[in-house]
Structure 1
Amino acid sequence: MFVLAELKDNVRIAPDHFNLKLIDAVRDEIDRKLANKVLLNVGLCIALKEIVSLKDSTILPGDGASHTEVLFRYVVFRPRLGTIMTGKIRNCSREGVHVTLGFFDDILIPQAALQHPSRFDEAEQAWVWEYPLEDGAKHDLFMDVGEPIKFRVTREIFEETSPIGPPKAENQTAQNASTSAAAAAAAGAQEVKTPYKIIGAINESGLGVLSWWDQQNKEDDPEGKKGDDTTDYENDEDGEGACEE
């Protein structure tokens, strides 16, 4: 779920931080730039692990700050494909079930990856698994907001969100500028991109809302004889939560 990414950057240290040790100032600046940010094709940056090397600092003409090339390792959230994780249902829509891990919200379980057959209940704004019973009837199992849910990571999507091109020249009248600004704001609101999104699936036995399987286990084992051998897969399918390169 968490990996170590080796990165290189040219770190700028402002003159008002010259009173700090160079390594401390570099650490602060790296965390300021990267913590809780998504790097394209790398993942969500969590925390600085270690600084591998520092090259000589230079001061460029016309700039009183120092510039130092730094090689470092950063803890990044990027689960492997196939990893089994546990989160909570944030909300449901016709698109599917939206899941949060607390520190990361952009997880979607699309309609096609839900248990079959499932339907979207407009009144409850929740997906419902129509669980088949032995007598041919169906029992509705709701995917309610806040419920813990176990899912498998099936895909990841990175989007480039950097600005493209300079802003248009401001050579219009005040009225035209106001109209243009309103249109640009509306277009910007429609074109908001998610830099990193995880796609999951629950259409396998044992996956889905945890209370479904807890209830089934109690029905299958009313005396609680099997309850001691369960395995926690909250971090990943191998039970590993440590960082790895």
Structure 2
Amino acid sequence: MTRSDRAMLSKVPLVTLAFWVIKILATTVGETGADFLNFNLRFGLTITSLLAAAVLAIFLVIQMRQDRYVPWIYWITVVLLSVVGTLITDNLSDTFGISLYVTTIAFAVALAATFIGWYRAERTLSIHDITSPRRERFYWLAILFTFALGTAAGDLVSEQMGLGYALSGAIFGGLIVVITLGFYAKVINPVLAFWSAYVLTRPLGASMGDFLTQAPKDGGLGYSTTIVSPVFLMVIVGLVIYLTTTRADALEGSSQAPI
């Protein structure tokens, strides 16, 4: 492995407990943040989507230009992808009236097509085997579709199927536990386990966000998005500062096996 390969690899963090905590919080912020911009600031879905997409595009360019993993840039990009993925699904269902069954299937197909294209071009789907700009583009496209798919699937189960936010969160959380046990029991491929859990953390986080912020009559606790979003963001910021100072999730020098 060349020095430049290691630099590219280090643009992706190790999959640690902090990784999953930040990921779930980011998905919740994506849900509550999109609602805050859309409803509290009265931007509307169209303006909110355009603004979020523009900011995301800026940070994707910044991220792609780095030669190593920079925690704050990486995680801001993830949070913005969460917001945009949520807004894409919300636009399709609320603005264009497309069924959540249709959007769930469509995004599942889009994600599968991304993985197929990625594997055929690069012969790997490992997030720690990203050694070229093309692989990183596949990586971020896959993440965008995981957020859009997770949003559609989460809304489908919790709202359209009527299971409610708490039960939906428990279902998705339980599936993640099963995948985790399968991974440690070595019956589930590490790459499959990672991407399956990555997809499921989106509806888990969305269910958490909706459970906290939706009105009690709709099955939520009724907390304001102006409270939930900043609190979760502060936790994310604290964890990112910790990772920045300790480099605890940096690939270089770690003995953790890459996924």
TM-score bucket (shorter structure): under 0.3
More strand by share: 1
TM-score by length of 1: 0.25
**Higher-Rg member (1/2):** 1
TM-score by length of 2: 0.24
More helix by share: 2
